[in-house]
Amino acid sequence: MTTRHAGEANAAVPPMERTQLLVSPFYGTPDVSHLQVHSPSLDETSLADLLRNGFVYPPYSIYENVRLFSCGFDPSQDLFEQAHYQPIFRDSRHSHEHADDRHHDWVGEYHERLCASLRTATENMRAPWLLQSGGKDSTSLAIAASDARPDTACLTYLGGQEENEVDSARQVATQLGLRHEALVCDVDRAYDRYLALVPRMKLLTADFALLSYADLATEISRCGGDGILDGMGSDVYLGVPANWAKRALRMLAMSVHLPDFLHEAEWLGSNFKLAYLISTLQMNPFERGFPGSRFTDAEVDALFGREIAGRSKERLSRFIPAFAQASNLEEQLSITLDIMSCAGGMAKGLYTSAALSLPVRYPYCDQPLRDWLAWKVPPELRMDTRKGISKVLVREHIGRRFASLPYVQAKGSFRFNLRELARRRFEHVYDYSLRLRDVLPGAPAWLERHRQRLDNKYDASKFYLLAVVLPWLDHHSALAVSIREERVAAQGGAGFVADPERQVAAR
């Protein structure tokens, strides 16, 4: 971590220390636990990012004076001056040094390299725990763990009603001789665990699996685990196929401005698919690639009480040249993953584990393994674009141990029981919104209008974003006060009623 000092623009204002922090496991071992933010000031545009996309656009953070070396940002550059983005694995799909070696045992070499990566990841762990989703990456990791670290415990999370992968994951762990545990989502327990971590969470993301991760990581710590193994990372360089659904959504995302009354229509409140479709029409095509249902630009402006969504959308322009250079939709989807993986998916683990003083490691980001997979393995073993099948080599690795696993063949996606969270914690989140009217003056009104629609996963997803963001802002009240002061000054001191108790707490 490096610290730089900005020039003093105003003699009455002390210089703000600038901090650049490594958060990408592709560049080393991230550690946010020692972050000390001096003269903290919340970045309002980053807050808009969270509400629009579920993560902060890299290289920004929730703080104005902290920048993050995320995927695609060379750690040698100054992120405060001219931050340049370059996809790490841009040309890897066209590289295949050993593609003609038909007799090479690619699966065997992959297994050995994955075992080596696991040993490196767990070298300082006495009791590692693997997050075993039941999908391809975690199943392949479990196979390697049975050889490299047979003392690894596997933990599977049942987060909602959309699917149940516990039996499949338990079958894998049991046959491999690994300990297996399952944790069923209890939204009250999970949310309380998140709230307990908030004071120690120095950075913020709003990934739709953040509450699940807080629940899981706290459980691992409670059970004596001293490290987490997470299977994220390989999608960035192995790629994802552009199926018809992804192509259709990209075509439908046209940045259309729709009238407000359409969003409030009663017939829309109970129809998730239609609500999702209408929100897609209003999105930028590239931003539609980010997961989940989020607040529209108009809703974000209403939450802030002024126009700000456009400033968030402008941050996408940094990545447009890379999208333009991509030769097909598969490459564009990989860039989308590159942008959001460290800022969202991995950030939830990094920020949560740091709050628990519990290291999290990503074996698929280990340089020897990832460079071999990205640059040496034949393209047809990474992704079969003709059949629309990803991670061919990983599938073959699993196939040598298990004949058929349903969650490897067709893995769905659940994050958290969003609707149950809205039912159980509405009043709690609403109270936060009242305390933070100086930051998001439109939040109470949005919650009041949509209270009867939160059984729709589309609106429940937006509730989730507020449920994550508001408690963090409330605890880090000094940051909220900095926003209040800026906004009062901008409006000539009118229009906001300060909360004396929060001002005292901030001081």
Amino acid at 162: E
Task: Dig out the tokens for 365 from the structure.
Answer: 């980001």
> What confidence score (pLDDT) does residue 268 get?
73
Q: Answer yes or no: is pLDDT of 493 > 50.
A: no
Paired with 128 in beta bridges are: 227
Q: Where are the domains of the chain?
A: 2-69, 95-239+331-409
Q: Which CATH class is domain 95-239+331-409?
A: alpha beta
Q: What is the mean pLDDT of residues 228-254?
A: 88
Position 406 scores a pLDDT of 59
> Of 14-18, 150-154, 332-336, 343-347, which has the strongest mean pLDDT?
150-154
From 401, 399, 408, select the one nearest 168 (Cα to Cα): 408
Q: Residue 252: pLDDT band by 50, 70, 90 thresholds?
A: confident
Query: Can you give the pLDDT at residue 16?
Result: 58
For the record, the structure tokens of 241 come out as: 């196929």
Cβ(90)–Cβ(239) under 8 Å? no
Beta strand pairing status for 383-384 and 389-390?
antiparallel
Helix count and strand count (H, E) for the chain: 24, 10
Average pLDDT of span 71-82: 92
Are 433 and 470 in contact by the 8 Å Cβ rule? The answer is yes
Q: For the segment 39-48, what is each residue's pLDDT rounded down to a tens digit?
A: 678 999 999 9
348 neighbors 209 (Cβ within 8 angstroms): yes
Residue 494 has pLDDT above 90, yes or no: no
∠ CA 433-41-78, nearest 5°, is 130
Distance, CA of 99 to CA of 116 (rounded, Å): 23
CA 365, CA 350: separation in Å to the nearest integer? 14
CA dihedral (62, 67, 69, 72) in degrees, to 10, reads: 90
Most confident range, picked from 133-142, 173-182, 260-269, 405-414: 173-182
d(CA 182, CA 154) in angstroms, rounded, equals: 8
Is residue 163 pLDDT above 80, yes or no? no
Instruction: Please tell me the distance from the alpha carbon of residue 387 to that of residue 389, in angstroms, as a whole number.
Output: 5
Question: Which of 253-262, 299-308, 479-488 shows the highest mean pLDDT?
Answer: 299-308
pLDDT tens readout for residues 183-207: 999 999 999 999 999 999 999 999 9
Nearest-angstrom CA–CA distance, 120 and 338: 24
Is residue 91 within 8 A of residue 46, CB to CB? The reply is: no
What pTM was computed for the model?
Answer: 0.88
- Residue 128 pLDDT > 60, yes or no? yes
* For residue 126, pLDDT beyond 60: yes
Q: Is 284 exposed, middle or buried (0-12, 13-18, 19+ CB in 10 A)?
A: middle
Q: How many residues does the chain have?
A: 507
Residue 414: how many other CB atoms lie within 10 Å = 20
- Count of other CB atoms within 10 angstroms of residue 482: 18
Q: Which residues, 6 or more positions from 507, have their beta carbon under 8 angstroms from its beta carbon?
A: 478
Q: Does 176 have pLDDT greater than 70?
A: yes
Average pLDDT of the segment spanning 350-358: 96
Residue 353 reports pLDDT greater than 90: yes
DSSP state of 152: P
Average confidence (pLDDT) over 121-131: 97
Q: Does 305 or 289 have the greater pLDDT score?
A: 305
Whole-Å CA distances, 448 to 236, 243, 411, 443, 457: 40, 38, 36, 9, 17
pLDDT (mean) for 311-340: 91
Whether residue 352 has pLDDT greater than 90: yes
Strand, coil or helix: 41: coil
For the residues 59-73, what does the mean pLDDT come to?
94
